[in-house]
Amino acid sequence: MHMYYVYILKINKKFYIGYTEDLCRRFKEHCKKGEAELIYYESYRYKNLATKREKQLKYYGSAWRALRNRIIA
């Protein structure tokens, strides 16, 4: 089964939100830019759900704040 991932990385003390079909490959690409740490990810069966969630986290502050409060101590 093909999966899509929404992920949050911490790169050089800044957060990055994205989505991908290949989480391992994408993480390695980010590591080339600096020290990266995978903070969180969600998996989806359908691409449209993953892109919708990515946009929700990027563009609606309340969604990002709610998730950040749950996962970042």
| Residue extents of the structural domains in the chain | 4-71
Q: Mean pLDDT by 10-residue block, N- to C-terminus, for the chain (73 residues)? A: 94 92 94 89 97 95 91 75
Question: Across-strand partners of 8?
Answer: 17, 40
What is the C-alpha to C-alpha distance for residues 73 and 61, in angstroms, rounded to an integer? Answer: 18
Residue 67: the pLDDT is: 93
Residue 71: the pLDDT is: 86
Residue 73: the pLDDT is: 60
70 Rama sector, left if φ>0, alpha if ψ -120 to 50, beta otherwise: alpha
Supply the CATH classification number for the domain 4-71.
3.40.1440.10
Which residues, including other chains, have CB under 8 Å from residue 72's CB and lie 6 or more apart? 39
